[in-house]
Structure 1
Amino acid sequence: MNGLDALHFIRPLWLYLLPLALLLPWWWQRSRRPAGDWARVCDPHLLRWLSVEQGGGSHPARRAGPWLAGLALLTALVALAGPSWQKLPDASWSARDARVIALDLSRSMLAEDLRPNRLTRARFRLADLLESTEEGQVGLVSYAGDAYVVSPLTNDMNTIANLLPALQPDIVPVAGSRADRALALAAALLERSGFNRGEILLVTDSADSRDAARARELRDAGIHTSVLAVGTPDGAPIPSGGGFVNDRAGNVVIARLDRSALRAVADAGGGRYTELGAAAVAETPWLEQEGSEFTRRDDALGERWKDAGPWLVLLLLPLALAAFRRGLFFVLPLLLLNGLALPRDAAAGWWEDLWQRKDQQAWRALAGEDAARAAALAEDPELAGEAWYRSGDYGNARQAWARSPSADAHYNRGNAMARLGEYEAALAAYDEALALQPDMPDALHNREVVERLRQEQERREQEQQQSDQGETGEGESSGEQQQGENSEPSEGQQGDEQQQDGQQDGEQQGEQQESAEQQEGDQQGEPQTDYAEAWSAEDAQAMEQWLRRIPDDPGGLLRRKFRNQHLQRGAPDDESETW
């Protein structure tokens, strides 16, 4: 296949404009006269003194100009059409590798022949495997006397890696080491995920004939079993509390690596056998390499071609330089960017209006803590009300929210009127909001707060009226007493001074009580408290300490999960060998 057969246009509709490349030179020559309008008013022998050429003597550069313009348009149209003769690599397929890890959580995995112990080294190795896995899906099963699913098949390796530190022998409710049950559960996990074949990696330190028989069954079903042996042939005792695990005869149990039994499982399952010993292991424990099976992705892009159009644009550079010499490309950027160089205030926001609506500009200004500008830009009444409210202009906020019939608008209007001290109107606004949305908790709460404020305001007004009436009566009686006691001026003066002192003390106590009540009312009655402003550093520190007290124990979650599954299965007993 030659190059012309492989030529492909990604956007072929642009080719319909190719006739314009021929019409442009014709229109150019037709619309432009060699001598301009001077040929109409001047004699032919005078045109040469005016630096204009006669009709038959055009300069070669001028004759080539229209055709160069047509060539530039032709090149631009072909570039826009997206010529291509090479396909991009097909990324429509993804690896369909299905793998399940079966991790032994029996007590023998706590043996310390590997430092710090076998289980910790196994978790480190599995974390490295998960980090190096780029495609496919991986699941995780843990087992001791019974098997449990830690994570179903997933392509999110970080999820499984985050669960590895929580895997300890004490989260499994049944003691023992039943790898055959783990293999069966892993196979069921593959089947439920829709995979006809896959691979299981058994991470353990011991096995028996039941495990080899189950691995052979799975091999016949298309599921291979590989083994990652953990430990050393010399072994080590199993820590238990302050001592070690003992058998029924009272002897200390030495957990040794059973190589022959584990090799038998790997051979029966058609997988690979590797060991995790004291030395570092670089080889992969999986039988098949990653990407051995593929499937078409749901988000496949289909056939894709490499666009060579941008390279054709380079051919326009010489023509652009020629046009620049004539001044076109020098003046055009100045004309286009003239408005951009001006201050935005002088442009009256026309640039923002090209890209954003007024309400979008208002939201942006509100997010930038410029509430006044947001209020001036907002066209939506609810947005304008919020902007006015944040700027502290509760009167305009009330008027803006009054133009909207929604429950939120009535609720916010009630808050604005409560700020203005119009408690009766605020209660009416809350009632309108609750009529539209009866289960609005904020409206219910703020209505109770404003109702208490209104009652407190009425009580103060009554006390103020009673105080004013009492002071007026005391003033009149004091005047009469002074007029009637002129015969005993010393006693009268002494009585007046005591009375005035008592009034002053009473007034001071009343003012202190009123001030305390006012402070208490302000603290209780302010609707919609700004918690961001009231939040102090001490509150943040107290909240952080409280959050730290919340238990973050993935192991506890897995323990309860395994316990529930254990009870659903009839609570099987521990194995005879609990390690």
Structure 2
Amino acid sequence: IPVMLVFFLWFMHWKRSTLRKYGEFVVISRLIPDMSKAKHWFKFIVLILALVFMIVGIANPQIGSQLEKEERKGVDIIIALDVSNSMLAEDIRPNRIERARQAVNRFIDRLSDDRIGLIVFAGRAYPLLPLTNDYAAAKMFLTNATTDIVPVQGTSIADAIDLAIRSFPQGPQGKALVIITDGEDHEGNVIEKAEEAYKREITVHTIGIGSVQGVPIPLYRNNVRVGFRATRDGQTVMTRLNETMLQQIAAAGNGVYVRATNAQFGLTWIFDEINKMEKGEFEAKAFAEFESRFYYFLYLALILLIIELIVYERSSRWLRKFSRFIPVLLIFMSFDVQAQTENKIIRRGNKAFENERFQEAELHYRRALEENNNNFRGNFNLGNSIYRQDHYDEAARAFQRAIANQTDEKELSKAFYNFGNSLLMNQQIPESIEAYKNALRLNPSDDDARHNLVYAMNLLEQQEQQQQQDGERGDDDSNQDEDSTDQQQDQDEQQQEPKEQEQQETQQPQQISRQEAERMLQALKEEEQKTMEKIKEEKFQGERMKIERDW
């Protein structure tokens, strides 16, 4: 812009100097009365403003850091974590409290619409995080759950339950309290508190962590173990898991007790129990995604350019040429705005898909397809979300639409792969084989497609063999039935006239004997056994199907 300003000033000075060569400026101005110095400056300012708006538009300014309210259905969950010194014992690796934090982290990853809160307790209980659906904040606060966070040592499970009762809001939604501790309660009246929680419709689950036999509590200095905790008289402190108390707490709170081990912590079973609880509606707040606003500035730049053309009566040749592209520019901008809207909705669907809210993701993708039904990303991701809901026939149709609206071989290969998965899960084996073949034609290095193709072809071969064997067995059964019928007819015909018997015998077709039918059945069984042994020898690896690719 400064360069353009300098150039414009130089141009105006050069123009004025050139005109003076032809005579006095006053006389020349009378010869060209339409010339206006103000118009030149006005035109230049309009062009500069148009350029400024174009630069800002190309920079793609975005807004959207405001909170949006969302209606969700879920369960309120509070996790009460024991942070007493006994949780530093190392019978659970790396130690009890660190293993508990890792398990809670994975538990939070599985949540979708539920709210979660955190309580830490030792000699007293303290709220670490109120109920929220901000899972990132929950993980951040969880890292602060250490044995140093509570000033009073001990283990007061009753205080933790009492604080949880006061932390749960009123409402029809399910309420669950998960207590993670070694169960060494030093305060008492914990069973009464659990019963009180149950009366207030709060389910109390317990997870016992530690060894029943008892282990010492290590002491570390500069990350080096220097000994074990001991009493004043020098006796080593042993911490033991009190399973009996934790079982009683869970029974009083109508919950379940799970003992944590190095292999399995137990929150998976707790999560399954929580999922069975009644979901309640509550309002949640989330940050809205950033939205592009470049088109406003480009529209302003376009309007200013049009004004500049209208004001300047003798437009230059390059401006006249540029004006021809204005309708094309308007059409391009309208399409770009539409594409931005579609992409924004698809991004929302992707976010819901990543959080395993597949029904919500499906709604977002369908909204995007209302804007443009030929959008490849919308159809592809819609197929993925429907597939995850086990609606394979509808998912296959979505992948078909995606295939019809894509020319890129890599993306087409992905679409054919997912299309084949949907067909295979829908028991359309021949069609799935053709889809996998198409995926491999477009991407010969796709090992997943090759694996599933072999799997589907073996399934088809086994299916055909089974149908053939069933058909042969059906013929054998029919022959046996006809043979028994013949015997019965022979007994009846002995009581009839000889002439009538002769006539019926000439009408009977020739049948195989019962012994021949049994021999045929035995041969079929032996052939089937040989086929199964051959499959085992070939070590067939088609026992699972690769999941579909996500966008």
Superposition TM-score, scaled by structure 2 size: 0.37
- In terms of Rg, which structure is larger? 1
- Which structure's relative contact order is higher, taking Cα pairs within 8 Å and 6+ residues apart? 1
